[in-house]
Amino acid sequence: MRPEEMAALHRMAFAYPRPWRAEEFTDLLAQPGTFAIGDSASFALVRVLFDEAELLTIATDPDRRREGLARARMDAWQGRAREMGAQRAFLEVAADNEAAIALYSGMGYQRAGLRRGYYQVPGKSAVDAVIMTRDLTQR
């Protein structure tokens, strides 16, 4: 998947804080240990450093939600991260993103912390970020 395609899908999937630009995807993908898994309907962008994997972003076409695509991407990136030596994964999610929190919880992620007011939402109060983690050695 090209950075331009990732940016277009990210723009469709996210209202805030703001969609990422193609240049940002290009820069991230150039970093060691960073990879993307997916297609034009859904993708995940991940960084593996040492024994830790971080889900940087995951996006699904709004017209394709509830088809299991995000879960499939989660399974795929976690498998690849394990192959790269990751033993633990973490991510952050907007506290008001109930669907994503349900997905992550259902996949074994547990709340590990909170970043208060992390996401700035135009015209609204800031939204907290929930930090979630899981052990990748347990399937």
- Give the catalytic positions in this structure: 92, 104
Largest CA distance in the chain: 43
Residues with Cβ < 8 Å from 1, sequence gap 6 or more? 36, 38, 39, 40, 43
Give the CA distances from residue 126 to residues 74, 115, 131, 133, 136, in Å, rounded to whole numbers and listed in that order.
27, 11, 16, 23, 31
Contact predicate 131/111, CB 8 Å = yes
